[in-house]
Structure formats: structure tokens, C-alpha cells
Structure 1
Amino acid sequence: MGDLARLLKESWSLVEEHQDKVAGYFYARMFLSHPDLRELFPVQMDVQRTRLLSAIVTAVQTLEDPERFDDYLRALGRDHRKFHVAPEHYEVVGGSLIEAMRAHAGEQWCIEYDQAWADAYAMIAARMLAGANADQNPPYWYGEVVQHERRSQDIAVFTVLPMQPLEYRAGQYLSLEATAYQPRLWRTYSPANAPRRDNTLEFHVRALGAGWVSSVLVRRLRVGDMIKMAAPMGSMTLDRRSTRDAVFVAGGTGLAPIKSLLEELTRYNRTRWVHVFFGARTREDLYDLAELNRLAARYPWLSVVTACSDDPTFAGERGDISEVVARYGPWNEHDFFVSGSGAMVRATLRKLAELQVPSVRIKYDSFNG
């Protein structure tokens, strides 16, 4: 596996700077050779272009951790059932991927790289297919929007009732498709609640720039609309065996999975102190603060610290949430859960490394929307 991983890294370094071009060539080859595949993809391909490529690269990067590799790919295979992917499609994707990389790698590309990617992709496809074949659930669930509330100009909180029970664990995330508005465009969001008897799921979404899906979910979605939800993924879940106190660090709508984990803790926790750090740019972006404060008032083991990075009128802590966490502590005996934008999560992980928090005690969920 070591030699394979070396060849994959070496060859990827030849094309890494040209990812957009590789992605464009990849889809062009795939659709030219198999035009029927085009209907599996969204009409607008601009956001989609690098998603499949980045999923494959992420999978390749897990090769050196066999257990994580297996779990991730089986989950990815279950998730891809929502696209109605058939076994023969995997072969088409693999061939197109290698052609695209070879076309943009230049003269340094060699037959050993061809073979390494063919071998790696065969392992990836086998595990994804095994995950898809073992899944007894439907490819996706339909759900009805039963509540929708705008919390700020670009943040909405809405509740969905699945047409049939959807099993997941607090802290996981699902892919959503706003069927009536943006068919075949899926984005991942974490439920903001632990599983409930009434099966409802609450989602927190921020509309980001020209985000095709996020802007629809915030500005156009209405009570009574139907959405699709795909199989749950992610491992930012609670270990009930842990007796360590916990720190939850949330940036913006990264609060959603943190709320889900908190709800699970309210059902059984009696011994662990839990500290929540909730950061945003302005006071308006602390969109769920009233509910957090209600939870803190009700459960003596829970404390909440809020911070704004760009609001001089805010009475609480100022600065990036990673810096605020560092002002408290010490934290080297705690379990950490971090959720927010990619930049926020990276900053927090760097700060926790400086504070010598062992990485095995940190779980995180990074997103771009």
C-alpha cells in the first residue's frame, strides 16, 4: 500500500494546479462516450465540476488508513444511490478520470501512474459498490417542509417531516435536494436535532453568494414543499463511554450538528461538563442564541460563550471563535467537537494543536455552505 500511495501522490502533484481543467476534460470524455450519463448530473455544471473529482481524491487520500478508507467508501457508495448510479458507470468514471489526468500531467506521466490509479480506483469502486449493495434503505427519502423561518437576511431554520422514518445519529449530515427548484443538485447539511419520536429534522442554512441550493433553501422554500434527503454520513458523533468533559466550537450555521449533539446529551448526561463556544461575524448571525441560552438555563452542566468577530457593539466576547476558546481552559483533558466553515475549522484545529489538545480527542465537520 505504501508504494501505491507514493505513486498516487506523485502523480496527483502533476495535475493538482490544473484541477478545473482536469475536471472539465473528465466530464467531457464521460459525456461524449456515454451521453446517457448526462441526465444523472445537474443542468448547471459549474459548481458540480470539481465535486466528483474531489470525492475521488479524498477517497485516495484515505488509502493509508484502511479502516477509515473502508467506512468512508461504503458510506459514499450508499450516498451515491441517490444518483441512480449503476455498476457499469463506475468503469466509465474510472477510465475518464485516468484519461483526464494523463492529458494534463505532461511528459512526466508514466505507465506506472496509469496502473496505480487503475488499482486505486478498482479498490474504491469495489468498496462503494459493496456499501451500495448492502444498503436496505431507499436511495433517498422524500420529506415535507412543515416549518420555515427566516432568522436573518440570509439564514433560515426549517423543519422537514420524512414520508418514512430516516435513521441517523446526532452529529451526522445528509445530502438535500430542493426537487422543485434545483433538480439533481445536492448539498450536505446537518440536522440540528437528535432523532425524535415524530421523525422531524431541523436544518439551519445560510444563503451563500450565488449558492444554487442554499439560496433556494433560505429564500424560496415554503411550507408544503417537498425535498429529497439521502443517506446520512459523517462520524462527528458522541461516544457514550467517554467520561471526559466536552467542548463544542461552532461557527455560524455550524451550530446545527452541535445542537444535535447537545440534544442527545440532554437525554442522558449527568456527569460531563459541556462548554459551547458559538462564534459569528455579527450579533445578527448568532441566529439561535435565545435557544442556546434556554438550554444553558435548564441544564446546569452546560455553559455557553458567544463571540463576534466584526461587531463593535456586541457585549460578549470579541474576535474569532478559535481565539476566544484559547482564552479559556485549560483544555487538554477535554473532548472537542468543531463545526463551521473550512477556514473556521482549520483555524480552530491549529489553535487546539498549539494548546496541545491531542488530535484523537477532536472530531470536526467542515463545510462550505
Structure 2
Amino acid sequence: MAAAPEPGAAGAGLSGHDIGLIRASRAAVEPHAAALPVRFYGTLFSRYPQVRELFPPDMDVQHDRLVRALLLIVDLVDDPANLARFCGDLGRDHRKFGTLSGHYAAVGECLLDTLEHFAGPAWTPQVASAWTRAYGMAAQAMDQAAVADAARRPAVWHAPIVQHVRRGPDLAEITVRPEQPYTFTGGQFVSVETPWRPKVWRYFSPANAPRPDGTITFYVRAVPGGRISSALVGQAVVGDVLRLGMPLGELAIDPASHRDVVCVAGGTGLAVIRALVEQALLDGAQRRVDLFVGARTAQELYGLEDLLRLSQRHRWLTVRAAISDEDARLTRRSLVEALAESGPWQQPDAYLSGPAPMIRAAARVLHRTGVPFEQLHHDPFVQLDLLDG
């Protein structure tokens, strides 16, 4: 059985040899990615049954998150600054689950046992030592960030629904007012827990920058099989109380940059883009912003009137809309077609939000016009492959 690594046991960091060992062992474990979380959580709950109450009954989503977090930590082992930032956010965010300092050793013990099981002969004493140091660094960063965060703000915010507006059969605009001050910036995203699925969290992006009255608006689309999104759209009413985790993400229009901005929003991705534009206003930005909004039907162009009013008050903002599915031959076109017809731009900063295929297609169009890859900013859950198509 692997020894339980103590948070902070590896203060000296990882050597190049350690990093090589960790990445080589990842190759041995990766083919078992689907089975890894099942064994890990089974081991954890068997040895430490008291932690089971921190998790939801249905563990499918949690399984996927464990694998993604583990792979990202491996990717960042040679990038200490970004590894510390990622682990710090992870530790602060885990406060909403009730994670305590004492849990890290138990998790590390069971994680290393799981990796040893699937790595087989590739799990040597040297590999075990490297992973122990890596986990110790990650756990220390998570725990220290969580302790510091607990001294300045709550782990969760209770947020009653104050407005619920249906924008279509599967779409709702939901506004909440947190009972305690909730500090965020336009462009970040928020984990939300509902009364109907306790301990299950889903990420949504506020559709606004901070407001004087403290309210936050979310655009929620009910997806097939999505119990939380379906409940928020079809079941939630004014007075229901949601719980919010800490804001996450660093997507923002840089107020110090002088480059023009192109924003592309599809579907509920409009939430992020609208919040970015409002945040730019709060920051006093005067850069030219071309905003493209796409939807399947005119009914789904929610929030467009507010953006058009903003463009009338601020000459640096231009708003264009594209409808893809409506039976209107003269106006029907896809968002990407509208984008392609409107270029080229002189290497602007581009911000993309919406369905993954739209983001990738829009990124390719912008990249072909000369927008450098590092100036394409997008949802953190979407991987861009500009060579695909």
C-alpha cells in the first residue's frame, strides 16, 4: 500500500528526472482512464467512509473531473507558476464540498495506490517517489489557498431567484441575488448547486458584469438528459434558493491593450460575451468592439436589444446578428458566414463563446485573417484545433 503523502512534504519542487518519470507513468496509466476513477473512489470510500457524504450519489460527473484534473496536473508539472495557480483555484473551489486539510493525505494515499495498480511494472520506487512529491506540492498549494480563502469569504453563497423568464421552450433567463456580497468580473464562470440535485454542481457564466444591486443573471438551456438545466428552465420559480461556488476563470478584455476587439457569441455563449462588454464599460474601455451574435431563430436572440442600446450610446461598439435556421431566405446565414463576410481585421483580440463547433469554426476564420493564436480567447472547456478542417 502506498504511503500517504503529507501536504507540503516536497518543498524543494520536482527535478527534471521526476517530471520525466511522472509523464512516462502517465502513458502506462492513460489507457485505463475510464476505470481509474471507479477504483480510486471505491478505495477512498472503503478506507475512509466518512468522506462519502461530501459527494453526490451519482458519481459519473465527478469521475470525469478527477481524470481531467489529474491529466492537467501532469501537463503542468514543469510549469510551477501555472501549476500553483491551477491548484490554488482547485483548493479554493473545493471548499464548497466541505473539504478539510485532513482529507488531503487520505486522497493522496488512495490516488497513489490507484496509480500503482494501473501502472503495473512501470510503477517503480522512483516513480512512486516522484508522484509522492508531485502530489505533496499540489496538495500544499490547494490547502494553503483554501485556508487563506476561508479567512476572507464564505465557501458558498445562498442566492434566491428573483426573476425567472422563459425565452423559449428550452431556454430561461434566471436572475439571482446572493445574500452576501459576491465579487466577480464579467467573463468569469460560476458553479451552481440547485435544491433538486444536492452536492451536484454545474458551471454557468453570468450574463452581466457586477451590478449595483448585486444581482446576477444566467442564461440556461435545458439540454437532453440534463437534470439540473432542465430543472432550472422548467421547474425553478422565484424564491427558490441556489448555491453559488466561487467565481473562476480569467477571460477578460484587457483594459491596457489598444488593439481592436472581435467578440463572437453563439447560443447561451452570449452570456459570457455580454458580461465581457459590460465589464469593458466598467473599466472605461474605448477600444473598437465588433460583436457578432448568432442563434437558430430570432426568438433566441435574447439580450440583443440591450446590446443594441449599448451600441447606440457607445460608438465604439458595433453589434451584428445572424440567424441560421429561420425560414427567411434573405436574412438566413450562419454566425461563421457573417463573420467571414465582415473581415478582415488587423490582428484584433478575439473572444469566442458558444457551442464548441462554432468556436472552432470561428477561430479558423479569424486565424486565416491573420489573428495570432495567442489572441484567440475562448471558453476554458473548449480545445481549439485550428488544423482540423
Normalising by structure 2, what TM-score?
A: 0.86
Note if contact 1:154-1:206 (Cα within 8 Å) is conserved in structure 2.
Answer: yes
The residue identity in structure 1 corresponding to 2:173 is: V
- Alignment match, 2:351: 337
Instruction: Go from structure 1 to structure 2 and tell me whether the alpha carbon gap of 1:270 and 1:143 turns closer, same or farther (over 3 Å shift).
Output: closer
Separation (CA, whole Å) in 1 of partners of 2:331 and 2:49: 56
- Alignment match, 1:251: 266
Identity of aligned residues (%): 41
1:73 paired to 2:105? no
Residue by residue over 1:317-359, the C-alpha shift from the partner in whole angstroms, topping out at 9 and shown as x without a partner, is: 623x445434432234311212223443344444444443223
RMSD after superposition: 2.3
* The 10-residue stretch of structure 1 (100-109 or 155-164) with the greater mean CA deviation from structure 2: 100-109
Which residue of 158, 163, 170 corresponds with 1:154?
170
The residue identity in structure 1 corresponding to 2:110 is: S
**Residue 191 of structure 1: CA displacement?**
1.0
Instruction: Point out where structure 2 has 5 or more consecutive residues left out of the alignment.
Output: 1-14, 383-389
1:129 paired to 2:143? yes
- Alignment match, 1:98: 112
Instruction: Go from structure 1 to structure 2 and tell me whether the alpha carbon gap of 1:190 and 1:133 turns closer, same or farther (over 3 Å shift).
Output: same
Larger Rg over CA atoms: 2
- Alignment match, 1:116: 130
Which residue of 57, 61, 72 corresponds with 1:47?
61
Note if contact 1:31-1:38 (Cα within 8 Å) is conserved in structure 2.
Answer: yes
What does 1:159-178 align with in structure 2 at a 5 Å threshold?
Answer: 159-178=175-194
What does 1:265-276 align with in structure 2 at a 5 Å threshold?
Answer: 265-267=280-282, 269=284, 271-276=286-291
Residue by residue over 1:214-250, the C-alpha shift from the partner in whole angstroms, topping out at 9 and shown as x without a partner, is: 2222121110011111111110023211121111122
Instruction: Go from structure 1 to structure 2 and tell me whether the alpha carbon gap of 1:10 and 1:79 turns closer, same or farther (over 3 Å shift).
Output: same
**Residue 202 of structure 1: CA displacement?**
0.6
Note if contact 2:347-2:370 (Cα within 8 Å) is conserved in structure 1.
Answer: no
Which residue of 292, 309, 312 corresponds with 1:297?
312
* The 10-residue stretch of structure 1 (207-216 or 292-301) with the greater mean CA deviation from structure 2: 292-301
Residue by residue over 1:5-46, the C-alpha shift from the partner in whole angstroms, topping out at 9 and shown as x without a partner, is: 433333223333332211111111111111111110012212
- Alignment match, 1:193: 208
- Alignment match, 1:9: 23
Separation (CA, whole Å) in 2 of partners of 1:345 and 1:14: 33
- Alignment match, 1:234: 249
- Alignment match, 2:50: 36
**Residue 106 of structure 1: CA displacement?**
4.3
Separation (CA, whole Å) in 2 of partners of 1:116 and 1:345: 38
Separation (CA, whole Å) in 2 of partners of 1:317 and 1:129: 52
Instruction: Go from structure 1 to structure 2 and tell me whether the alpha carbon gap of 1:181 and 1:236 turns closer, same or farther (over 3 Å shift).
Output: same
- Alignment match, 2:219: 204
Count of aligned residue pairs for this structure pair: 366
Normalising by structure 1, what TM-score?
A: 0.90
